[in-house]
Every structure is written in structure tokens, then in C-alpha cells.
């Protein structure tokens, strides 16, 4: 069998929907036909992609890796066949917020002046790689180490971490906080793209409760209600402050790397210019501070 684009689209629908029934309805095809397509793809790859042992299908480890590859391949084909792309080729910069912080607007302004024929699209995509591994972004601003094979990274800067507590919390009266100060409180953790995990604390002094959230609004809400405390990059209070919480420097937590990541081969030809511009803006900002 030769794998075709339809095999990838069928697999991605199954991965997104979690059931053959819902995926078949989304694709307007019968369930038996979709199951046969999945089996054919697995036979071609020689790898089981989906664990069928439960009612709600789960991707195998190989399936999770292949999902990103399949999504990137489908996105590339769709982009190549988009008629709008024949007149201009936008450069898609993915991020999970707050992009390049206070430097974001300057990045966009200078890019528009220097590269008017190549639109720079700033896309907030809430996943760990800001859409990069799924082909939704050509280059991504990330706030976590990224070592996946086939990609290039360049660290632009590091950000300090801040503790975040409700305005009426006893901790709000402190000028600085430590990880130990937060360890007796539930911690709100963004499980989709957050920069905080329990590994930030020493094994012997970790918070015993976690409040999982999936977006910044719910994270702020949990902290503002006094249900949890949080840890965030220094750019958050500058770019996305919340009136019902306070931000205090976290003195003993490691800084967060801010980096650009892009594919090693076959990427957008304007990526080197964007990397150079980001470097230039941050260097000038540092010299002027």
C-alpha cells in the first residue's frame, strides 16, 4: 500500500475526536471504512498508532509522535495548494503568550517596514510548541527547553519567575517570595502550555495539591479566588496583569529560557531575517535599559 494524504487526514480526525464514531461523522464516511483506512496506515508503517482496548481511543507513544508529523505534512500540503499563497507567503510566528513581551509591537513594526512583501502573522496557539510541530507555525517563540530532533533553536533571553497570589492572601504583603513560601498552598498549573510543574520544587518540599487549568484566564481566576497560588514569567504582570492578584519576585527559582525554534530543513526562507531582527531588538533594548 502507498500511504496517501487521505490516510493522514483520517488518522488526524481519529486523534482529535477520540472515537471512530465521531471521526467518521466528521469525515462523512462509514465507521468500517475509517477503521480499514486506519489499519492500512498502521500496516504500512508497521506500528500500532491507536490503542483500541478502551471505548475512548488513545494514541500509542508512536501514534503521538506520528500525529505531529502527519499534522505538519497535511498543513504543508494545504498551504501549498492555497491560492492566496501564490501572491504572498506569510511567515507564521507561533507563540503561547505573551510572545516577545513588550518587544512584540516593535518586532511587528520593524518587520512591516523592512519586509512589506512578506506578511508576519503572529499566531497564539495553545500547545507546547505553539503549533510548530503540527505545521501551524513556521517558527515559534517558546518558554521551555526544546530538543526535538530536526529543529533548530536560538535562545533570545531568560525571564525571571514571579510568584502570583490573591490580593487578600497573607503572602501578598511580602515584597519577595520563595518556593518554600508557596509549598503549603495548592498550585495552579497550566497543563497545556504552562512553564510550571512540580519539578520546580525540591522533591522533599513540593506542594501536595495541584489545580489543573488549560488556559491563562482560568489560571488567573483560580488564583484570584484564593483557590491556588501560581508561578509565572516576569512578562506576565507586564503584559497580562490581573487586578485581583499580586505578583512578587520568586527569589530562588531558575529563570525561564525564551527561545525561537524552527525546522532544520524546508522552512520559510524569511526565517533567518526574523531571527536577526529579534536579536537586534533585544540587544538594543538591553543597551537602552
- Return the pLDDT at 288: 46
- Return the pLDDT at 149: 86
Interaxial angle between packed helices 5-17 and 31-45, expressed in degrees from 0 to 180 and rounded to the nearest 10: 110
Task: Answer yes or no: are the C-beta atoms of 210 and 189 closer than 8 Å.
Answer: yes
Q: What is the pLDDT of residues 205-251, one digit of tens each?
A: 999 899 999 999 999 999 999 999 999 999 999 888 999 999 999 99
- Residue ranges and CATH numbers for the domains of the chain are 5-80 (1.10.10.10), 83-158+257-288 (3.40.190.10), 161-254 (3.40.190.10)
The helix or strand, by DSSP H or E, that contains position 121, with its residue range, turns out to be strand 120-124
- 132/47 Cα distance (integer angstroms): 24
Task: Answer yes or no: are the C-beta atoms of 49 and 38 closer than 8 Å.
Answer: yes
The helix or strand, by DSSP H or E, that contains position 207, with its residue range, turns out to be none
Task: Name the stretches of the chain with pLDDT < 50.
Answer: 287-289
Amino acid at each position: 500500500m502507498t500511504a496517501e494524504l487521505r490516510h493522514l487526514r483520517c488518522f488526524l480526525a481519529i486523534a482529535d475526536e477520540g472515537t471512530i464514531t465521531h471521526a467518521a461523522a466528521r469525515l462523512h464516511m462509514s465507521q468500517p471504512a475509517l477503521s480499514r483506512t486506519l489499519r492500512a496506515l498502521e500496516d504500512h508503517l508497521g506500528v500500532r498508532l491507536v490503542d483500541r482496548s478502551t471505548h475512548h481511543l488513545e494514541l500509542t507513544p508512536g501514534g503521538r509522535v506520528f500525529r505531529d508529523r502527519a499534522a505538519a505534512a497535511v498543513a504543508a500540503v494545504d498551504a501549498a495548494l492555497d491560492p492566496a499563497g501564490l501572491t504572498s507567503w506569510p511567515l507564521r510566528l507561533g507563540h503561547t503568550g505573551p510572545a516577545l513581551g513588550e518587544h512584540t509591537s516593535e518586532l511587528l513594526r520593524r518587520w512591516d517596514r523592512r519586509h512589506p512583501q512578506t506578511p508576519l502573522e503572529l499566531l497564539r496557539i495553545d500547545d507546547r510548541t505553539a503549533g510548530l510541530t503540527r505545521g501551524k507555525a513556521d517558527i515559534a517563540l517558546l518558554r521551555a527547553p526544546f530538543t526535538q530532533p530536526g529543529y533548530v533553536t536560538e535562545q533570545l533571553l531568560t525571564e525571571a519567575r514571579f510568584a502570583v497570589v490573591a490580593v487578600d492572601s497573607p503572602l501578598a504583603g511580602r515584597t519577595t517570595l520563595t518556593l518554600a513560601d508557596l509549598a503549603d498552598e495548592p498550585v495552579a498549573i497550566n497543563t497545556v502550555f504552562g512553564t510550571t510543574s512540580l519539578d520546580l520544587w525540591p522533591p522533599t518540599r513540593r506542594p501536595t495539591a495541584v489545580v489543573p487549568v488549560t488556559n491563562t484566564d482560568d489560571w488567573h481566576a483560580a488564583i484570584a479566588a484564593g483557590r491556588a497560588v501560581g508561578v509565572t514569567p516576569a512578562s506576565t504582570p507586564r503584559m497580562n496583569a490581573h487586578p485581583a492578584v499580586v505578583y512578587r519576585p520568586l527569589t530562588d527559582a531558575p529563570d525561564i529560557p525564551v527561545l525561537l525554534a524552527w525546522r532544520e530543513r524546508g522552512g520559510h526562507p524569511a526565517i533567518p531575517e526574523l531571527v536577526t531582527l529579534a536579536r537586534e531588538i533585544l540587544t538594543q533594548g538591553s543597551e537602552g535599559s
